[in-house]
Amino acid sequence: MTAQTPAALGYRMPAEWEPHSATWLSWPRREGISFPDSFDRVLPTLRAMVEALVESEKVCVNVCNGAHESEARGVLRGLPMERISFHLVPTNEPWCRDHGPVFLTRDLDPKLAIADWDYNAWGNKYPPFDLDEVAPTRIAEILDVPVFYPRMILEGGAIDVNGAGALLTTESCLLNPNRNPNLRREEIEQRLRDFLGVREILWLGAGIAGDDTDGHIDDLARFVSERTVVTVVEENRDDENYAPLQENLVRLREIKIAGRNSDSRREQGIDIITLPMPKKIVREGLRLPASYANFYIANTYVLVPTFADSADEAALSILRECFPHRRVIGIDCRELIWGLGTFHCLTQQQPAV
């Protein structure tokens, strides 16, 4: 570990739409807790996700051992396996966005690095998480890239960046005492600046109902360009998501960000595009955090969770306008959302350098 921060060394976290060399996944374990009594029903969705991803970029899959790899290969049989690599990086659960590495890039060699944030399974909710916690450093060893340790708990789904100095996050997650009770807001902001190379921290309020992460941004609002954010809104005033999503919309309308050039500090408002919410999904008495904002931007595809809902096509149409040069596809996530996450939660992009 170097004493200098990544930002001081010229590193930054690229936007998700910038070119990838690969997408990383952590294959779920049958004995894991993410898909109680429904593991086999989730596998076709995982296959459909990988089938789209391999057309776009290489896919790197974390597995626990040879038997786990064989199980994954069985699900993926028939896909172009030369585009898929398996890596001995044991994990507890499949949510690679949150436990996986946050990749950083710069123009100088070494161009790629990893920030290994501390991880406690969303506020110590789901032990054990010892394997997940060390996964980023294991991947850094595989790739032979530098690794930085911010000494702060942070999940990848809690942040979204525009690649030009701005970062979106939520107070309900990052300021939750179950994450970093000894850090003040200003200290958290400074770690984000130091280890992700951002300048502006843009705070939204609360997350959606059923989200056990305490309000990850990737279920709420996402940058789709340097100055454009898509954000989910609930039209039903009687729904518990209506008020918090309206509050987030008000905050977004008040946000101003500077341009990419740090010498040009003239701030301007952002462009806001609203996405609908699917109808309330309840399973075994539990409200599930279904959201179209949990899409994943690959090199040539955008993978969007759908829920056999009347709003599916509207959400896909909006996102197709946002990504005219990518193929925007919907994949049914009614089984996957039982694990309380969808495509963005499962993936972690490795930037091309």
Q: What is the pLDDT of residue 243?
A: 98
- Domain housing 226: 20-351
For residue 49, what are its two tokens? 């996700």
Q: Is residue 10 part of a domain?
A: no
Percentage of residues of the chain with pLDDT beyond 70:
98
Q: Which residues are catalytic, by number? A: 345
Closest CA to 345 of 286, 287, 300, 305: 305
Q: Is residue 93 part of a domain?
A: yes
Q: CATH number for the domain including 325?
A: 3.75.10.10
What are the pLDDT digits (tens) for 279-291? 999 999 999 999 9
Q: Is residue 24 part of a domain?
A: yes
Q: Is residue 245 part of a domain?
A: yes
Q: Is residue 14 part of a domain?
A: no
Domain total in the chain: 1
* pLDDT: which is higher, 36 or 241: 241
Q: Is residue 295 part of a domain?
A: yes
DSSP E strands: which ranges in 149-270? 160-161, 166-170, 200-204, 221-225, 228-232, 256-257, 268-269
Q: Is the pLDDT of residue 266 over 90?
A: no
Q: What is the pLDDT of residue 165?
A: 97
Q: Is residue 1 part of a domain?
A: no
| Geometric angle at alpha carbon 198, from 193 and 199, rounded to 5° | 85
Half-sphere exposure of 277 (CA within 13 A, CB side): 26
Q: Is residue 7 part of a domain?
A: no
